[in-house]
Amino acid sequence: MNELLARVRIALRRQMRAQGERPVFRVGNLSVDLGRRLVKVGDKKIKLTPKKHYVLRLLVLQAGKVVTHNFLIRELWDQLADAEDLRVCVQQIRRKIDTERHTRSLF
């Protein structure tokens, strides 16, 4: 299973490069590695569920654009039940990223 997952990740990275997607998105001290499914604030890794990571990935790929609830719901239709699920998911992602950012700035 581990080998299969590794091969899938490699194939996804190649596909992203071919399509011109940025494999690593950085803004401030936030870093989102789309190929390795790795999110960091500074040097600290942020653990996200697969669903939350997919939501963050969609947002990163739409960076600089207005992203509507309807767009995200359409993209996530099999993973989320409704708009309230989406709101809660985004709120939890923000809280996790902001908590790590504020914790680092205190020390």
The domain locations on the chain are: 24-106
In DSSP terms, 32 is beta-bridged to 25, 39
Q: Under 8 Å CB-to-CB from 45, ≥6 apart: which residues?
A: 38, 39
- Among 49, 58, 52, 28, smallest CA distance to 40 is for 28
pLDDT band per the 50, 70, 90 thresholds, residue 5? low
Q: How far apart are CA 49 and CA 27, in angstroms?
A: 21
**What pLDDT, in 10s, does the model give residues 51-105?**
899 889 888 888 888 888 888 888 877 666 678 888 899 999 999 988 655 545 4
Q: Which pLDDT value is given to residue 46?
A: 93
Q: Is the pLDDT of residue 22 over 70?
A: no
Q: Which helix (H) or strand (E) holds 9?
A: helix 2-18
Under 8 Å CB-to-CB from 24, ≥6 apart: which residues? 31, 32, 33, 34, 35
The larger pLDDT score, comparing residue 82 to residue 26, is at 26
- 24-106: in CATH 3.40.50.2020: no
